[in-house]
Amino acid sequence: MNKRVYLLKGFLIFTIKKLLVYRVKLISDILGMIIVPIILSYFLWKSLIGNNNLGMTLDYIMIYIIISNVILLFTQVNLENEFSKDIKGPSLGQKMLRPINYIVSLSLKQILSSFLTFTFFYLPIIIVIIWINGVSISFIKIMYSILFIIIGYILNSTFSILIGALSFWLTEIWGISAIRNLLTGLLAGAYFPLDILSESVKSIMLKLPFPYMSYFPTKILIEKYINVNEIYSGIIISIIWIIVLNIITSILVRFGFKKYSLNGA
């Protein structure tokens, strides 16, 4: 137990130092992935609402877009870049010899980094937006939102490792990674509330894993009433996706490591 605590402490200290070193990157992420998109979204939705009856106010849509983008920025994991870099270089062989599992080590660093960044930078943004707009939040809504944020993080992490594992067979994965980030933002409902879609399209979207990365936790936070049946259905669907994606990822990683070892790396 002491060894695990010592290991976790080491990862935590490393993560804090890394965040402090790359402060400019963090600021640029906030500007490029939150502030600029929000400004552009404001003028776009102001124009759309002025010419169309969407059944939503501009204030509601802007609150939704701000919070959903912040949540997606937290849940969107990019482990594939480091994974791919290790596969192409000598690092993977060295890291596989360490006492801690390579995937566990990779994931732990990302989890601690995401948690610290969310706690000290993104969470205050959500709290301020909710407080300014007087959104009423109950304890149960907070608990459900946290649950879906965790689910979204697991789903995104699994996608990231899956794409990274493709580096065992592909020369470059940056194109796949870029497409995945674009589709995630679109299908997760970060750019617009999925409620503006027709019921048939929305029903299909909710069968996919993406809405549980951003749309669901955001809706739970800002909606006055929550649909418990819809929440339970979302939990079941997202857990099924987690199981399926983890099985596929485990198979790819297992065969990838075997291929890597057989090639003498």
Please enumerate, as own/partner, the contacts of 155-159 that have beta carbons within 8 Å and a separation of 24 or more.
155/75, 155/209, 155/212, 155/213, 155/238, 155/241, 155/242, 155/245, 156/75, 156/76, 156/77, 156/184, 156/213, 157/77, 157/79, 157/107, 157/110, 158/242, 158/245, 158/246, 158/249, 159/77, 159/184, 159/245
Amino acid at 232: Y
Backbone dihedral angles phi then psi of residue 229, each to the nearest 5 degrees: -60, -40
Report pLDDT for 171.
82
Q: Is the pLDDT of residue 8 over 70?
A: no
**DSSP class of residue 207?**
T
**What is this structure's pTM?**
0.80
Report pLDDT for 241.
95
Report pLDDT for 118.
74
Report pLDDT for 245.
93
Q: Is the pLDDT of residue 100 over 80?
A: no
Mean pLDDT of 107-116: 74
pLDDT tens, 67-84?
A: 888 888 888 888 888 888
Start-to-end C-alpha separation, the chain: 33
Q: Is the pLDDT of residue 14 over 80?
A: no
- Which of 51-55, 125-129, 236-240 tops mean pLDDT? 236-240
pLDDT tens, 165-213?
A: 898 888 888 888 888 888 888 888 888 888 888 888 989 999 999 999 9
11: its two tokens: 């990862």
Query: Average pLDDT over the chain, rounded to whole?
Result: 80
Contact between residue 77 and residue 156 where contact means Cβ atoms under 8 Å apart: yes
pLDDT tens, 151-164?
A: 998 999 899 999 98
How far apart CA 148 and CA 80 sit, in angstroms, is: 23
Q: Which of 15-29, 96-110, 153-167, 221-235 has the lowest mean pLDDT?
A: 15-29
Q: How confident is the model at residue 248 (pLDDT cuts 50, 70, 90)?
A: very high
Q: Closest Cα to residue 135, out of 74, 72, 75, 64?
A: 64
Report pLDDT for 147.
92
